[in-house]
Amino acid sequence: MNCVFSKRNLMLLALGAIIALMAACAPAVAPTTAPPTAAPAQPTAAPAQPTAAPAQPTAVPAQPTSAPSTGGKVISIAYTQEPNNLSPLYTNQWFTANLFDLFLANALITFNDKNEPLPWIAQEIPSIENGGISADGKVITFKLRDDVKWSDGVPLTADDYVFTWQMVMSDKNTVTSRDPFDSVVDKVEATDPHTLVVTFKEPYAPWMTTIFSRVNSSVALPKHILEPVFQKDGTLDNAEWNRAPTVGVGPFLFKEWETGSHLTFQANPDFWMGKPKADQIFFRIVPDDAAQLAAIKAGDVDIGVFISPSDVPELEKLGTVDIAKVQSGYKESWYFNMSADEATKGHPALQDANVRRAIVMAVDRDKIDQELLYGLTKPALTFWDGMAQADPNIEPIKYDPEGAKKLLDDAGWKVGADGIREKDGEKLKLRYLTTTREVRKNTQAIVQQAWKAVGIDADLVTHPSDVFFNSFGDKGPVATGQYDVAQWSNSPKFPDPDTVDWLCSEIPSEANPPGNNWEFICDKDLDALFQQQARTVDAKARTELFFQIQKMIADKVYWVSIWDDPDLWTISKKLTDVKFSGATPFWNAYQWDKTQ
């Protein structure tokens, strides 16, 4: 997200390091010792945590025109999506996860601007050579730094990680996801305050991006703060800390969250890498891309996030900002609701792969990318495009409205008197959901017309991101199956290719509210391939498995990209040392500086 680099090179570097470690080689790309106590030239840091979010206001507060003056260096960042929670247990939102780099910066390993793994709270990256990984690959031992403290002065210890694992696994907490702890981890132990031992059921290749990692938001909770809450209430679901965390760890500490307006993080003078150069980071919540563009042009924000490609030409003319394009594995995608269960049921036509293919063929996705995204990107062929595991032989689904009509006719969906297809008395009308982001709403409008031209009706529905991305337990509209086709941007566990989004065990339900398989797909053959790749540590063999996975997904049209979605940022020329990572964007926030 900060400088331009090849995603394929990043994947080769990061994955190579991961596989090498699991195969008994020490990592070549990462230092084997913990960072020094003074901030080095090439940082390895993650940030600190918030303290309090005010009650939800009845009216949306007025947007601040600029960050409040504190007499120090304030870095202002625009956020077009408001966080839906500040606890890692209850969010899978990218915008929220980034904040953990600031206030809950206790991932064992972080990733730099080249997406190379670096030890963070772990003193070194475990390998067979240094004794951190057992010969059978099932036990990984992390030696933790002994100079890290929570913001109230209590030491961060291995017990915090064990407690976090317990809270993730407790069925009394309706967490967003239990992956991978529920499926691959046998136990998590603290053998002493600074030694954490994770035992797996079998070798597990993606551990670096999934075990107490910022990549999947499995960072550690403060046991001394939240254990009493759990003991008293029997759950953490309603803990005040979730929106008002009073204790954090990292370079910045949460100061306030005014819903609909802003979040503020104050520099932590006791950060173990030294006091950050900036005094405050101010996140300004803006309603849409147009508001963000106006704020950037006015100089009210120093960093713009998820810049719309259509705004790039105008921003380049300003002369006050740099445009940063960073590959982070994200793809703007269509997901089909394949559920046949009454509570989460998708349209019955979606059970037919040829109907799904026709839905895609009816839309000129290249034209969308040209008109809405100025040709700065294009549809991805696979979920893993730009990574070492991407299969270059996957064929795209081409724009062919006449072919789409034939597929629909052959599937028995005939055009009715009103021009909309029907079968057995049911209209082919699809609920098309996305967020309120402008480019997505514009995409909906184009798609609606394209579908109508082949006899498909569409009910366009949008939700604010803090509603759209809610889990099944929080009655999120996608997670509870209240859609037929949904659009959002998603990625593997970048820079690792693993994902659980198509596992049968991840289908959400009352019995499994944390499930991440919001498409409700249960394909036993696909599931088996995903399970196999996760325990395959040989890089070549794992890539071959991913080739099989991609062919199956393409043949059955389980997933389709609308456009490849690299992160576009603007960085004020007043800022220095901003080095975004595609995996952990704000990893070196403590080094960010601003000229007055």
pLDDT at residue 365 is higher than 50:
yes
CA pair distance 366, 373, nearest whole angstrom: 10
pLDDT tens, 103-115?
Answer: 999 999 999 998 8
According to DSSP, the residues that pair with 462 across neighbouring strands are 434
Rg (CA), the chain: 23
pLDDT at 5 over 70: no
Among 9, 21, 67, 270, CA closest to 154: 270
Residue 296 CA to chain centroid, in angstroms?
A: 24
Is it the case that residue 1 has pLDDT exceeding 50? no
Q: Are 159 and 223 in contact (CB under 8 A)?
A: yes
- Contact indicator for 374, 312 with CB cutoff of 8 Å: yes
Helix or strand holding residue 325 (H, E): strand 321-326
CA 475 – CA 477 distance, rounded (Å): 6
What would the pLDDT profile of 172-230 be if each residue is shown by its tens digit? 999 999 989 999 999 999 999 999 999 999 999 999 999 999 999 999 999 999 999 99
> How far apart (Å, rounded) are the C-alpha atoms in residues 486 and 27?
39
Tokens of 174: 């309706």
Pairing of β 414-415 and β 331-336: unpaired
Whether the pLDDT of residue 68 is over 80: the answer is no
pLDDT digits (tens, 9 = 90+) for 392-402: 999 999 999 99
Candidate from 66-75, 94-103, 141-150, 319-328 with smallest mean pLDDT: 66-75
- pLDDT tens digits, residue range 416-429? 999 999 999 999 99
Average pLDDT over all residues of the chain: 89
pLDDT of residue 21: 37
For 1-52, what is the HEC assignment?
CCCCCCHHHHHHHHHHHHHHHHCCCCCCCCCCCCCCCCCCCCCCCCCECCCC
Report d(CA 254, CA 591) in Å as an integer.
18
Which residues partner with 117 through β-bridges?
Answer: 111
> Nearest 5°: phi and psi at 333?
-135, 160
Position 70 scores a pLDDT of 57
Q: What is residue 176's DSSP assignment?
A: S
Take residue 528 and report the two structure tokens written for it.
């088996």
Of the candidates 494, 512, 536, 562, which has an alpha carbon nearest to the alpha carbon of residue 111? 494
**In whole angstroms, what is the distance from residue 90 CA to residue 472 CA?**
11
Question: Which pLDDT belongs to residue 71?
Answer: 65
Is the C-alpha dihedral spanning 221, 223, 226, 232 positive or negative?
positive
Query: The tokens 């840091």 sit on which residue?
Result: 45
The yes-or-no verdict on residue 587 having pLDDT over 80 is yes
* Domains delineated in the chain: 7-327+567-594 (3.40.190.10), 331-564 (3.10.105.10)
507-518 mean pLDDT:
94
Q: What is the pLDDT of residue 38?
A: 35
The confidence score (pLDDT) of residue 10 equals 35
Name the residue with tokens 């597990």: 204
26 has pLDDT over 80: no
Q: Inform me whether the pLDDT recorded for 52 exceeds 50.
A: no
Mean pLDDT of 364-371: 96
Alpha helix (H) ranges present in 60-146? 94-103
Q: Is it the case that residue 481 has pLDDT exceeding 70?
A: yes
Q: Which of 438, 458, 596, 433 minimizes the C-alpha distance to 519?
A: 433
Judged by DSSP in three states, 95 sits in: helix
Return the structure tokens found at 439.
């480019």
Please tell me the distance from the alpha carbon of residue 115 to that of residue 113, in angstroms, as a whole number.
5
Residues 91 and 159: their CA atoms lie apart, in Å, by: 23
CA dist., res. 110 & res. 590, Å (int): 14
The whole-angstrom separation of Cα 388 and Cα 255 is: 41
**Residue 309: per-residue pLDDT:** 84
pTM of the model: 0.73
* Nearest Cα to Cα of residue 188 among 208, 168, 174, 217: 168
- CA dihedral 238→243→249→252, nearest 10 degrees, is 180
Element (H, E) at 304: strand 303-304
Q: What is the DSSP string of 330-369?
A: -EEEEEE----STTT---GGGGSHHHHHHHHHTS-HHHHH
- Cβ-based neighbours of 418, under 8 Å, separated by 6 or more: none
Residue with tokens 């909309």: 420
What type of residue sits at position 84?
A: N
